[in-house]
Structure 1
Amino acid sequence: MTRTQTRRWGRSIGVTALIAVTMAGCVGAPAGSVSTDAPGLASTETVAPDPALPEQAPRLSDLAPGTLIATGAFDDRGTTGRIEIRANGAASGFDVTLAGISPAPAAGMTLELNSLPPDSSDAELKSGFSYYRYDSLAQVSDQTFRVPSPGYGGFESNDPSYMRTAVIWAPAAGSDFGFDNVVSTAPLTWDLPDMNPGLEVVDHGAADGAAGQATLAADGAPIGYRVARGDTSAGIMARFGITMEDLEWLNPDRDRNRLVLADITLNLAPGSRGLRM
């Protein structure tokens, strides 16, 4: 059985840490609430649903099964081949095809989708937020599998396009499986509809519940926000004119219960999803 796992900053490869546990932002807390269990929490509150929100945001399952949503080419470090990612009707996963991989994957090699750009160093890729296939790749040039496998949870976001690089990893010498050496990388080009249409982030200025420091781009658009102690999710949402769903979409590498923590920096720029400031 193929399994997938989430890797956040600081790699953890726990065999029993299922993706449904590590990725679900609602575990142990009701939807719309901020957990009080995490140290450094800025504030605790329950956020009421916004009646102005559409009943359903766009999902991967809205796409016809077989729709090509991403492509990439492996062409470095002596390895060549292609990767294709297609919708498969699931709301929280997709099919991955590797084609013409040459040389074919050796024993213990595996595939990862990484949020960092392909020019990142091996050390950086090891610490980047990613989804990976826990089981080894088949030792053939052409293969297709689902990510994640049925029964192992899904993605924290309806929009996986923040995964910028496909990486084939080789294990350390003497290991059956692992992420020790980069075999090859492939920049991913995504072709998805706008999965968060109408998003506009505007800084309306510091206020109660949102007294932290915003980082602005040259055109004045907010690109980051450092959470201050005493901030609340409602205050942050009001300051920037966004919903909790927007905040989660902009920060897919953080689950819902760890968004409003004092001294962390939230991403507010669509182009920087999955990257930490």
Structure 2
Amino acid sequence: MHVRRDAENSATPTPTTPAASAAPTPKPTVAPPILDVHSVVATGRLVGSDSISGDVDVRVTGKGTFELRLIDFRSENAGEVELRVSPHVVPPGSECTTSIMTMSYGNLPAGMLQSFPLPKDFTHGDPSFLDTVIISHFDPVASQNGCYVPILSSAILTWTLPDMRPGLIVADTGKTGGATGDVTLMGTDPLAYTVARNDLAVEVAARFGITVTDLFYLNPIRTTHIRYPLLQTGEVLNLSKAHR
């Protein structure tokens, strides 16, 4: 089940600089679970407006591919409304989100069932980092006041998707020439990594015993394309599947 990123409910992590240790024993490849096509792996219900109703779910469409579905959608709002999906929890009843990490699907007609693909290059084959489905509309007055995504209704997704990377284990082996940044620990487990000057993605990944693909799987809302894995000095990379 998807674990929420609620900082207030967790212990305060502390940045550390671990001493170099021996490289971990290479881990055997663990195949991801096989999901039945058309199985539902997340559900939610639109709330926050008497003039909008409907349910949402996420369904498997193939190997590593999914779709977001809007079911029994009804809207009495004048003008056009838009569907967005966000990797952040937007509390029910919120009137606005300033998050720019949204993926818009454009204006919506009313309809019994509407489907929207979740691209594999966006989800890395695991869309469980997505937390909220939002029905929004354009409001020029709100936009002038800094609210670029006025919310009419929203649905928090409840996930039942299994661990799609069961073999992904992160362990710090110490600084190297291209991975000299500091690590934040949660207990003894690496939680986050702060990119240092001249760090290279391939060496940062190797420092933690994972691949570059794994590194960006853990950081799905980064905008840098996997084929051009550029890191920015001071950027904080997530290293925890639970906080993905």
The TM-score with structure 2 as length reference comes to: 0.73
**Cα gap change, 1:92/1:130 in structure 2, threshold over 3 Å: closer, same or farther?**
farther
Report the equivalent of 2:113: 143
Spell out, residue by residue over 1:136-181, the C-alpha distance to the aligned partner (whole angstroms, 9 max, x if none). 11134x3322325xxx88525110110001111012269xxxx642
Residue 114 of structure 1: CA displacement?
Answer: 0.3
Q: CA RMSD in A?
A: 3.1
Task: Supply the distance in 1 between the matched residues of 2:71 and 2:188 (Cα, whole angstroms).
Answer: 42
Task: Supply the distance in 2 between the matched residues of 1:250 and 1:259 (Cα, whole angstroms).
Answer: 15
Report the equivalent of 2:172: 203
Report the equivalent of 1:20: none
Task: Supply the distance in 2 between the matched residues of 1:236 and 1:102 (Cα, whole angstroms).
Answer: 48
**Cα gap change, 1:229/1:184 in structure 2, threshold over 3 Å: closer, same or farther?**
same
Q: Report the 3-state secondary structure (helix = DSSP H, G, I; strand = E; otherwise coil) of the residue aligned with 1:192.
A: coil
Q: Residue 115 of structure 1 contacts residue 129 of structure 1 at CA under 8 Å; is this kept in 2?
A: yes
Residue 258 of structure 1: CA displacement?
Answer: 4.2
Task: Supply the distance in 2 between the matched residues of 1:159 and 1:68 (Cα, whole angstroms).
Answer: 13
**Cα gap change, 1:222/1:154 in structure 2, threshold over 3 Å: closer, same or farther?**
closer
Report the equivalent of 1:182: 151
Q: 2:129 aligns with which of 162, 178, 186?
A: 162
Name the one with the larger strand percent: 2
Q: Report the 3-state secondary structure (helix = DSSP H, G, I; strand = E; otherwise coil) of the residue aligned with 2:175.
A: coil
Report the equivalent of 1:83: 56
**Cα gap change, 1:95/1:235 in structure 2, threshold over 3 Å: closer, same or farther?**
closer
Residue 70 of structure 1: CA displacement?
Answer: 0.9
Spell out, residue by residue over 1:214-259, the C-alpha distance to the aligned partner (whole angstroms, 9 max, x if none). 1111x12111111111222232123212121210110111232245
Q: Report the 3-state secondary structure (helix = DSSP H, G, I; strand = E; otherwise coil) of the residue aligned with 2:46.
A: strand
Q: Residue 201 of structure 1 contacts residue 242 of structure 1 at CA under 8 Å; is this kept in 2?
A: yes
Q: 1:263 aligns with which of 227, 234, 241?
A: 234
Report the equivalent of 2:138: 171
The one-letter code of the counterpart of 1:145 is: S
Q: Report the 3-state secondary structure (helix = DSSP H, G, I; strand = E; otherwise coil) of the residue aligned with 1:116.
A: coil
Spell out, residue by residue over 1:6-40, the C-alpha distance to the aligned partner (whole angstroms, 9 max, x if none). xxxxxxxxxxxxxxxxxxxxxxxxxxxxxxxxxxx
The one-letter code of the counterpart of 1:194 is: D
Task: Supply the distance in 2 between the matched residues of 1:97 and 1:202 (Cα, whole angstroms).
Answer: 40
Q: Percent identity?
A: 31
Gaps of 5+ in 1: 1-50
**Cα gap change, 1:154/1:143 in structure 2, threshold over 3 Å: closer, same or farther?**
farther
Task: Supply the distance in 1 between the matched residues of 2:79 and 2:162 (Cα, whole angstroms).
Answer: 37
Task: Supply the distance in 2 between the matched residues of 1:89 and 1:212 (Cα, whole angstroms).
Answer: 38
**Cα gap change, 1:128/1:201 in structure 2, threshold over 3 Å: closer, same or farther?**
farther
Report the equivalent of 1:133: 105
Report the equivalent of 2:3: none
Q: Residue 105 of structure 1 contacts residue 139 of structure 1 at CA under 8 Å; is this kept in 2?
A: no
Task: Supply the distance in 1 between the matched residues of 2:181 and 2:122 (Cα, whole angstroms).
Answer: 29
Taking the TM superposition and a 5 Å limit, the aligned residue runs for 1:111-130 are: 111-119=83-91, 125-130=97-102
Range with greater deviation from structure 2 (158-167 or 241-250): 241-250
